Structure 1
Amino acid sequence: MRFGKRTELSGDSSMTGSMVGKIVLVVLLVYLLICLVVGWYWSREPDLGPLVASPEQNQMVTGEYTARTLDSLMVELLNKPGGYLSNDRFPPGLWLDNMPSWEFGVLVQVRDMSRALRRDMARSQSQSTEDANLAKAEPLFSTNNNRWMFPSSESEYRKGMKQLESYITRLHQGDAQFYARADNLASWVGDVSTRLGSLSQRLSASVGRAPLIEGGKLGNTTPWLEIDDVFYEARGTSWALVYLLRAVEHDFHDVLAKKNALISLQQIIRDLEATQETLWSPMVLNGGGFGVLANHSLVMANYLSRANAAMIDLRRLLEQG
């Protein structure tokens, strides 16, 4: 009798353990499904809709549109669906790599423009004093992009935004300066051209054939697992540049018109807008030669190369007397 009872209890325990295992498996599957759906939603890139209200309606002073655009890029970067993902340590953000690459592309352009504002555009000459708010904002935007805490990347970026917003307020009130000169713009255009040239080269290196470098040696190809990262970094870079170039077109309009450079700038914007077309493939394809599959990296590289060539021409026009 006692032996039978023990056998019955053992059987009940086995059934209970099996049910618990099934419940755990179902919960895990549901969790993974939720993570996949949320991850898909978080991976959607912002479109090219308006970020800043029309400068004519808000009676913005010269330079305010550029500064407000820079601030709005950071607002979008931190407040888009899922928030800022580059420093996530838990699923689904931990599993995503395309959106963090996109974020890095945007962040690089924010850093370049904030440096241009601090170094050139807000100073009358090289010997003049730099703006106090911009001097604090620029290094805060340069904080490592994947810091999780102590302090986190987002907290440092928000501090930089507060400094930038203080500059914008002072600029609107006439207590801060912005110098829309050709040499100031040419310096920033040179920085952008360098970024586009580098990205174009990295995208082109995805074809599987190593490029030739100095001395006739073979350079490095883009590793297979990094092809989509470079592609989305280029998408983020181009997205941010479209807005910054639109702002520059407004604030430097008279300078650009005087240098006969407006058409060149507008052509650059058109080429970069084309990089934001919908990617219909579920992944970045890397077809070779004239094969059946497309090579999305080479298509992106073509647009960036054209934009970079126009950037070089634009800089030359700005530097001419």
Structure 2
Amino acid sequence: MHDYQKLLALSLLAYGAQKNLPVEQLCQLSGIDLEEVKADGPMTSRQLDDLWINATHLSGDVLFGLHFGESLQIAALGVVGQLIRNSHTIGEALTQAATFTHLLTDALTMEVKRTNAGFAVQFIPNQTRQRAAPAMFCQLMDFMMAFLIHEVDGLVLTRIQPDQVTLPSQIADLTEYERVLRCPTIREGDKYELTFAGNYWNEPILLANYDLQTTLLQEVNGVERSYEAHQRMSDRIKSYLLANANLGLPSLDAIAGNFNLSPRSVQRKLQEEGLTYQQVADSVRKTLAIHFLESGRHPTKEVSYILGYNELSAFSRAFKRWTGTTPGGYQKNQRGIT
């Protein structure tokens, strides 16, 4: 596990202690040796997933992640938190946060988009991680949304609150979500998204130190290079493709350019993992196709277009190769239609 993920785990344990949770029992249930962790020992992603689930269970708080995100101080993120504190504006702070979200978790990515009316922050699930640990994922997503809103408290002379919150799942306690997320307009949709008025974007960070920001960027970018050096090329490509699915699936040359590598280098790294770019891209297409079809919000022809197929018949053949059934047959099975 990366150091920043471990920082997040330790902050979760500290929050649990504040809430009078039996921390030793929490660690035991999660397969964590507390003394070893205190002595800077390792922690795995599986242990962190279990930590979220067991903390929610022991606390009896179905909104544990939401409340944890509300309470966490930005300093708990170490140098990444300091970098956010020393950004020039809220817009820059959120952009920095989005850039380094993967250092905190591999379960999602964060994207910040400017719009005509303001800007939107969207959290994009890693479908594989979401399916593997849905209970953990829900808590983590609540945490990220609450933390994003509250992380800039004390850094600006205004109280940040979104115009609208969109969630793809049923809301357990609407009143509490409205309180923590500071938004009376919470609706169900097909994504996790917070939208904000444009005037927040250029709101200056009070404590910004531009010289320190340069130093922090060098340090975090060094961590980023180390992180990427140890990450499988196929995982890097999958994360990028899922995060930018709305742009279509790019060519190998475009992917290589995004990673500042030559196409041949990307191919070689994938070959070392026993894969080709086509196989990785097809895996992502399958994940996205199933997601779009299950959502029921897109006709099959539109899903085919989104995934880069010029002909619906080509998409249908590919989907049958992946799943053993046609897109239409898959949707009927999902609805229980025989």
| Band the TM-score falls in, shorter-chain normalisation | under 0.3
When normalised by structure 2's length, the TM-score is: 0.25
Higher share of residues assigned helix:
1
Q: Which has the higher contact order (CA 8 A, sep 6+)?
A: 1
Higher gyration radius (CA) = 1
More strand as a share of residues = 2
